[in-house]
Amino acid sequence: MPHAVFDALIHEPTRLQLCGLLVGEEQVEFATLRERLGLAESALSKHLSTLRAAGYVTVERRFGAGHGRAYAALTDRGRHAFCGHVAELQRLARAAAPRARRHPA
């Protein structure tokens, strides 16, 4: 289990959603990510590039049948960072939640 660590790079809302889509999959096609996130190709490319520069994501291009497709995947480092970030968000949510009060019976 990764340590709970806040990761500002992942915390950006689109990148958080992007990592959330990738974490449960071996890889996801670029077009599927674009559709699910409702992003323009250029915006998705920028977020993937940011995550790739941090070593959190790989992007693989495959060519065939006259066109190419790109697939994104979380690296082990990216999966660890995302899970650690989620753990920190959960820790913060628990700390902010009101404590259950016991009422005498």
User: In this predicted model, what pLDDT tens digit does every residue of 35-60 receive, in sequence order?
Assistant: 999 999 999 999 999 999 999 999 99
Of 27, 31, 25, 37, which is closest to residue 69 (Cα–Cα)?
Answer: 31
Q: So what's the pLDDT on residue 104?
A: 57
The DSSP letter of residue 38 is T
Pairing of strands 57-64, 67-74: antiparallel
CA distance 38 to 30: 12
Classify domain 8-96 at the CATH topology level.
Arc Repressor Mutant, subunit A (1.10.10)
